[in-house]
Amino acid sequence: MRARRVIAAASVAALGVLSLAACGKSAPNIAAYVGDTAYSVDRVDAIYDDAQTKYGDAVRREAGQAGATPSPEQLRAAVTRQDVVNLLVSLDLGKRVAAAKNIQVPDEVSPQQLEQNLRVPASTEYAKLWGDWIDLLQVLNQQLPPAELSDDSLMAVYDALTKTGAIDAGMSVANVRQAFGDGGFVRSATALSTALEEEARRVDVTINPRYRAVGVPSVVSTGQSLVFYSLPYINEAGPVTDISTPEPLPSSGAPSDEAPAPEQGTAS
């Protein structure tokens, strides 16, 4: 996908401008607090390990059928613990927004539909969380009035997409506006992020410094495949992920989350 108007057909995107208000909560074994709900580091690790293990098993099976031996890098899914935290926090806030507005969220997107493009087996909790998240995004984007299309919001989406290789880097604002067409998906994303920001302020959200780069999980459709990515804050100096001072986390000896991006599949 290069600088083409096909981007304008994006199905879902969320603009990560959450204002995460610290509420004084801190514990080295907690990855995130959303109101009174705590998401433990152990749960984040379990979701991450499940994705990595099942992905590696699937790659080994495919390689074995072809008589090949995959490298360690090929056995690593492009999933990070940060991705898991992003999903857990965003899902929690999004469900609260939907409940407050009496919005029913249909169960339409299955992990099986995402498996090929997400490049993670449908049996993983990570894929199931993505299915729940896209269901939620779609209904909120339909119910929330679209926001104005600003240069900041436009370029935040563009910059996030360039990191996936889905669109050429180095484009001007004018060229991005042309490539994104009417920018409808960016308008919806901005409206959604505003709702999430308000909810985060209302319930108080605290993020463990280990996962400071909180973003909103997002996906766009090129019309042929899906591109999954995470949108960071528009203004890094504005939102605060955590202003408390949790104790340093002990080293777990876990491997780095960094992994090469897999090839994009073709949407079925």
Give pLDDT tens digits for 47-96.
999 999 999 999 999 999 999 999 999 999 999 999 999 999 999 999 99
Helix, strand, coil distribution of the chain in percent, nearest 5 = 45, 10, 45
Question: Is 208 part of a structural domain of the chain?
Answer: yes
Q: What angle do CA 25, 257, 32 make, to 5 degrees?
A: 15
Query: Domain range spanning residue 162?
Result: 5-231
Whole-number Å distance between alpha carbons of 176 and 157: 10
Question: Is 258 part of a structural domain of the chain?
Answer: no
Residue 145 is classified by DSSP as: P
* Residue 157, number of CB atoms within 10 A of its CB: 28
Question: Is 109 part of a structural domain of the chain?
Answer: yes
Whole-number Å distance between alpha carbons of 201 and 219: 25
Whole-number Å distance between alpha carbons of 167 and 13: 15
CB 136 within 8 A of CB 105: yes
Question: Is 159 part of a structural domain of the chain?
Answer: yes
User: What pLDDT, on the 0 to 100 scale, is given for residue 232?
Assistant: 61
Average pLDDT, stretch 9-36? 60
Question: Is 35 part of a structural domain of the chain?
Answer: yes
This prediction's pTM = 0.76
Q: Is the pLDDT at 154 greater than 50, yes or no?
A: yes
The dihedral formed by the CA atoms of 237, 243, 245 and 246, expressed in degrees to the nearest 10? -100
Instruction: Select from 27, 32, 13 the least CA-distant residue to 88.
Output: 32
**For residue 123, what are its two tokens?**
């049996």
Least confident of 9-23, 100-114, 145-159, 212-226: 9-23
Whole-number Å distance between alpha carbons of 72 and 61: 14
Question: Is 167 part of a structural domain of the chain?
Answer: yes
Whole-number Å distance between alpha carbons of 166 and 110: 24
Question: Is 82 part of a structural domain of the chain?
Answer: yes
Question: Is 238 part of a structural domain of the chain?
Answer: no
**For residue 179, what are its two tokens?**
């490539």
CB 259 within 8 A of CB 40: no
Q: Cα 160 to the chain's mean position, in Å?
A: 11
Number of domains forming the structure of the chain: 1
Sheet with 205-207: list strands edge to edge. 37-40, 30-34, 205-207
